[in-house]
Each structure stands twice: as C-alpha cells, then as structure tokens.
Amino acid sequence: MCFCSSATRGFVWSDIVKHRHKLWGALLLLAGLHVVVLFAGFFAPYGSSTQDRNLPFAPPTGLHFVDASGKFRARPFVYGLKDDPQALGSFAVDSTQVYPVHFFVQGSSYKVGGVLPSRLHLFGVSAPGRIFILGSDAYGRDQFTRFLYGGQISLAAGLIAAALSVLLGVVIGGLAGFYGGWIDDLLMRGGELFLALPWLYLLFAVRAALPLHIAQWQVFLLLIVVIGLVGWARPARLIRGVVLSAKERNFVVAARAFGASDVYLLRRHVLPQTYGVVLTQMALLVPQYVLAEVTLTFLGLGVGEPMPSWGSLLASLQQYYVLSSYWWMFLPALLLIPVFLAYYMAADALQERLKTVPL
C-alpha cells in the first residue's frame, strides 16, 4: 500500500493484450463488480444483519448435483449441517437433509438504492437450510452477504474519498499552475508537507482528534473526508504540471488575445486537458483509499459493528482460533484481489491511452 509511484504502477501486459481491449475489459469488470455490489440486496441470499446463532463458523456450503443415491438432479441442492461428532465445535455435512436451491426467491426485505422496497433475491434455499457460499462468521452471519454489503461501504468510501482528493487536486493544482508566482510556491510547499508525512500516522492523528462515540454514519463520513483530504498532494502536483503546459499552448494564448477571461480559459481550454490525468488518478487512488478504509476498520478505528465494512470482515482473523481453524474467513480478503486488479488494469490502460492521444 503505497502513496508513491503512481506513475510507474502500470502493468507490462501490453505485449500480451492490446491496450484497447484491456481498457474495455477492465472497465467491464469494474462495472460488473460495482453493479453486483450496488444491488447487494438482490444478489445476496440474506439480509446484512441476519444471524443464525445455531450455525457459527459454518464452512462454505457446497453445491451438489448428484445426491447420495447417485441420482442426478437438474436443480442444484445443498445439504444441511449437523454437529460433527469427531471435531467439537465444527460442522459436518448431513446428507439426509436436502435443500434445493431456488432462483429468484422471495426473502428478507431490502431497499433497492435505499428507496424501493423489494424482497426479490437471486437465489436462496428454504429454511432451515442455509446457503453459505463463503461460510459464516461467529454470529452465523453469511459471509457472502456481508461481503456484498461491506463492498457498498468500502467501495463507496474509496470512491468518494478519491473523488474528493482529485477534486482538491484539480482546484489546488489548477490554481497553482495557472497563476504561478507566490500562489504556486505556497500551495506546492503545502503539498510537499503533506507528502512528507507518513500518511497512516496522519490519518490516525486526525482520527484521534475526533470524538470516539459518535454515530456510525458520521464516523463513515468523517473517515471519507479525512482520507480524501490527506491525499490531495500528488494529484495536485500532476495536474499543476498539465495546467502549466496547457496554458502556454497557442490556442490558449489566442483565446486570451480575443479577450477571454481567466474563468473562460480554465473552463474551456485548460481544464479539459486535465481529464486524462484526472481519470487515471481516480483509477489509482480508489483502490488505495479502499485499502485505507479497510485497514482503519480492521484496526478498530474505522466504522464499527454492525456496519459490515470489508475491514470488519477481516478483523476476526486477528484471533488465533479463527486463523487456525476457519480458513474460509480468508475468502473475503482474497476476493479483494480482483477488485484491485480491475482498477489497476483500468489505470494502466488509461495511461497508455493518454500517451497515444495526440495533443
């Protein structure tokens, strides 16, 4: 996790895959991931806080097509769980209890986009069967459901914070580059200060100054703002560079000769040239900020229970018995990899695209 070297974070897969396809592939993957997370209520079989105290730390439920008697069934099914007589505290598959998997079922209610109530879920099994694709945690909560809902929180945090950082970067870098002089000096020195501090300690420090006992959504909001505020310096520097070269372009000079105001020049000619850098920075910052939120929550300093951030999903791994006995608790962490991969691929493809666009 590194705030440095955003310029060299690119991949070298260009020899393998054409960059045009890479951009579309990455964007498609990203879109898919975000859609699934956005409609978590639909894709998840259970509600985000549904517990089943009878099934703590249940292993991931396997899908079967052939039952115990060797018969093939077109509709997949899952087995029930019973206490394992050999290993105390864990579960074994009970092949006598068969629960077919149904699609487009009615389940617990949720709100689409926070507004429209619905009860439709993509798949589910009838009670008392449970379908735990990624297993369950100490309270018997489905990890897959929590992963999807957690994605809403962590991805939202990353996206909003990245947008904030980049916005600040555009404003500050734009002003510094366009006006130059003492404004430029002052802003860039300030940026150097921010770059020189260890970012995690900075986050901690600001988090420490905030009161501990405030509402969860307030914590979330404050967290996002803090993460976003800490990271403006690098985008600002890059955008300043673009603005510096853009304002010397002859068409800007010509427009100035026509009597264009500064606002017009910035809006019409200078800032549009920063869009490429802005997009690339967003693609690079979002995964970093998602990771920042996850880390803070993991350490207990971010959003707390019951908000299912990805960080809180991983927090239980700090306990010895979880780490040694319940391997499926790692799965949410592994699922983070494709998310980051998609973002880095997009950033890389964007950077290559920028180099080839004639400007």
Partner 1 sequence: MRYLTRRLLHAILLLIVISVFSFALLQWAPGNFFDAMRLNPRVSAQTVNGLRLEHGMNQSLPVRYAHWAYSVLKGDMGFSFSYNTPVASLLWARARNTLFLTTIATLLAWLLAIPLGIWSAANKGTWCDRACAFSTSALLTIPDLLLFLILLLLAVRTGWFPVGGMVSTSFASFDFWSKLKDIAVHFALPALGLAVVTLPVLVRHIRSAMVEALDSPFIRAAHGHGIPRTRLLFRYALPLASNPLISLLGFSVATMLSASVIVEVIMSWPGLGPLMVQAILSRDVYVVVGVVMLSSVFLVAGNLLADVLLFVSDPRIRVE
Partner 2 sequence: MSGFPKGPKDPLVCIRGLSKQYVQRRPLTSAKFTIQAVENVDLTIHRGATLALVGESGAGKSTVVRCLSLIEIPTTGEIWFDGVNVLALPHKALSPLRRQIQIIFQDPTSALNPGMTAGEIIAEPLVIQHEGTKTQRRSRALELMEQVGLPAKWESKLPLEFSGGQRQRLAIARALALQPKLLILDEALSGLDLASQEMILRLLTDLQAMHSLTYVHVSHDLCMVSGLADEVAVMYEGRVVEQKTTPELFAHPEHPYTQDLLNAMPSLESICEERSA
182 touches partner 2 by CB under 8 A: no
C-alpha Rg value of the chain to the nearest Å: 25
258 binds, among partner 1, partner 2, none (CB under 5 to 8 A by kind): partner 2
201 binds, among partner 2, partner 1, none (CB under 5 to 8 A by kind): partner 1
Tell which positions 192-251 bind partner 1, by CB under 8 A.
Answer: 193, 196-202, 204-209, 211-212
> Residue 65 or residue 251: which is nearer to partner 2 going by CB?
251
Provide, rounded to whole angstroms, the least separation between the CB of residue 306 and partner 2. Answer: 49
259 binds, among partner 2, partner 1, none (CB under 5 to 8 A by kind): partner 2
253 touches partner 2 by CB under 8 A: yes
Judged by CB under 8 A, the residue of 249, 304, 316, 353 near partner 2 is: 249
257 touches partner 2 by CB under 8 A: yes
250 binds, among partner 2, partner 1, none (CB under 5 to 8 A by kind): partner 2
Residues in contact with partner 1, counted by CB under 8 A, come to a total of 48
Tell which positions 296-355 bind partner 1, by CB under 8 A.
Answer: 298-301, 314, 317-318, 320, 323-324, 330, 333-334, 336-337, 340-341, 344
Distance CA 91, CA 110 (A): 30
Residues, the chain, total? 359
Judged by CB under 8 A, the residue of 100, 272, 306, 338 near partner 2 is: 272
12 touches partner 1 by CB under 8 A: yes
249 binds, among partner 1, partner 2, none (CB under 5 to 8 A by kind): partner 2
Provide, rounded to whole angstroms, the least separation between the CB of residue 197 and partner 1. Answer: 6
256 touches partner 2 by CB under 8 A: yes
> Residue 40 or residue 345: which is nearer to partner 1 going by CB?
345
Judged by CB under 8 A, the residue of 53, 258, 337, 356 near partner 2 is: 258
255 touches partner 2 by CB under 8 A: yes
Among residues 359, 284, 316, the alpha carbon closest in space to that of 7 is found at: 284
> Residue 104 or residue 251: which is nearer to partner 2 going by CB?
251
Nearest 5°: the CA angle 322, 328, 334 is 110
Contact criterion met (CB below 8 Å) for 221 and 293: no
353 touches partner 2 by CB under 8 A: no
259 touches partner 2 by CB under 8 A: yes
Contact criterion met (CB below 8 Å) for 43 and 122: yes
Per-residue H/E/C for the chain = CCCCCHHHCCCCHHHCCCHHHHHHHHHHHHHHHHHHHHCHHHHCCCCCCCCCCCCCCCCCCCCEEECCCCCEEEEEEEEEEEECCCCCCCEEEEEEEEEECEEEEEEEEEEECCCEEEEEEEEECCCCCCCCCCCECCCCCEHHHHHHHHHHHHHHHHHHHHHHHHHHHHHHHHHHHHHCHHHHHHHHHHHHHHHHCCHHHHHHHHHHHCCCCCCHHHHHHHHHHHHHHHCCHHHHHHHHHHHHHHHCCHHHHHHHHCCCCHHHHHHHHHHHHHHHHHHHHHHHHHHHHHHHHHHHHHCCCCCCCCCCCHHHHHHHHHCHHHHHHCHHHHHHHHHHHHHHHHHHHHHHHHHHHHHHCCC
Contact set with partner 2 (CB under 8 A): 249-251, 253-260, 264, 268-269, 272, 358-359
Query: Residues interacting with partner 1, by CB under 8 A?
Result: 1-5, 8-9, 11-13, 15, 193, 196-202, 204-209, 211-212, 291, 294-295, 298-301, 314, 317-318, 320, 323-324, 330, 333-334, 336-337, 340-341, 344
